Amino acid sequence: MICDGRTVNIDSGARSIIIEEGVKRCELCIRGLDILESIALPASLEEVDFDVHDCPKLRKISIDAANPFYQAEGDRCLLAKGYEGLNRAIDCPKPVSRRERRATRDIVKIALGYIPEGVEQFDTDYLLTYPDEELLIPASVRFLVGDSPFDCPRLIIEGDTDVPVALLRSPNLKEVVVKGRPHFDSSTLFSPYGEVEKRLKFVFLNKHCQYRYEEGALMEGDKVILGSFEEGGRPIIPSSARVIGTYAFAGYAPDEINIPDWIEEIDELAFSSGELTREVHIGAGLRKVGYNPFGAFYRAVKLAVADDNPYIYAKDSCLITKDSQPWFMDLTEAESSRG
């Protein structure tokens, strides 16, 4: 860790970390302390950043009550008081960009195993440990931000939270229970690419919710928002789907993708991943494709378009509409079954 510019080594056998009084700025960079149980912070602390991972027994965070900048909530949460007191710090009326978030005081600086009630915006990067069974997102949380996916078996969304789909891309997350009417935002995919769970299940308890779970996919109308894969790696595309949304199957690159006849549109980067799909078979119904849907930036993708597709064909490294407008030029190898 770094205290006021000084690097301080931490004993690998430490059960507790106590930052001495007088330290004003501290960056806690901790990895793999299996027996670490608690962190104590002084009254003098003005700025703290946490980069803590793989500390499964960490259960307590405390700070001197005289600290004017931060306040502990119980043993498991550290809140920033802000310039106008704790209540003002908790009240966040709108989401902020990553740049804005780094330029202002974060509301929750650290949480251990839960998300505190009353906070309107929560950064998952500060959720350092997870419960063994389920994590509740309280109804007060309107916006989720951060780059760290939820690393728990079951997630419960209680209210009308804005949830980036990227935060659901965790191999350990098996089920999402939706009680409120959240908005699932699929417009961003954090790097490194998250892994799409083979069969992430959604349970909707609110009949007024605009989403549904069908054939292993999170659906909004006829669009796949978040898809899943069979054990062999084949994408599961529901028969009621007509559109495959942005990043819907991102994070995993099967050797072969078959787009069924009932799919009419594929949004940009729908199948993007850190690797490359080598062969794509396109059915008769596809008529519109967004930018770089198969993540083919560096190597060849072999394309095959159905004979009876009236809208597109593949030729000379391109998918081309039959009005002669190419869609994308990234591909270096293509073929069409048009003959």
User: Over 90: is that where the pLDDT of 58 sits?
Assistant: no
Rounded Cα–Cα distance for residues 199 and 230 (Å): 8
User: Over 70: is that where the pLDDT of 324 sits?
Assistant: no
Rounded Cα–Cα distance for residues 338 and 94 (Å): 52
pLDDT for 326: 53
Kindly state the tokens that stand for 90.
Answer: 């908790």
User: Over 90: is that where the pLDDT of 190 sits?
Assistant: no
Rounded Cα–Cα distance for residues 207 and 217 (Å): 18
SS3 state of residue 178: strand
Mean of per-residue pLDDT scores for the chain? 80
Is the CB of residue 45 less than 8 Å from the CB of residue 54?
no
User: Over 80: is that where the pLDDT of 317 sits?
Assistant: no
> Cα torsion at 266, 279, 309, 241 (round to 10°)?
-40
pLDDT for 275: 63
| DSSP of 26-87 | EEEEEE--TT--EEEE-TT--EEEEEEES-TT--EEEE-TT-SSEEEETTTEEEE--TT-HH
Rounded Cα–Cα distance for residues 2 and 196 (Å): 35
pTM: 0.78
pLDDT for 94: 44
pLDDT for 5: 86
Rounded Cα–Cα distance for residues 327 and 318 (Å): 7
Q: Cα-flanking dihedrals φ and ψ of residue 134, to 5°?
A: -140, 155
pLDDT tens digits, residue range 242-260? Answer: 999 998 888 777 778 899 9
Could you tell me whether strands 201-204 and 175-178 are parallel, antiparallel, or unpaired per DSSP bridges?
parallel
Sheet order of strands, 312-315 included: 312-315, 318-321, 326-328
In terms of Cα–Cα distance, which of 297, 296, 293, 319 is closest to 306? Answer: 319
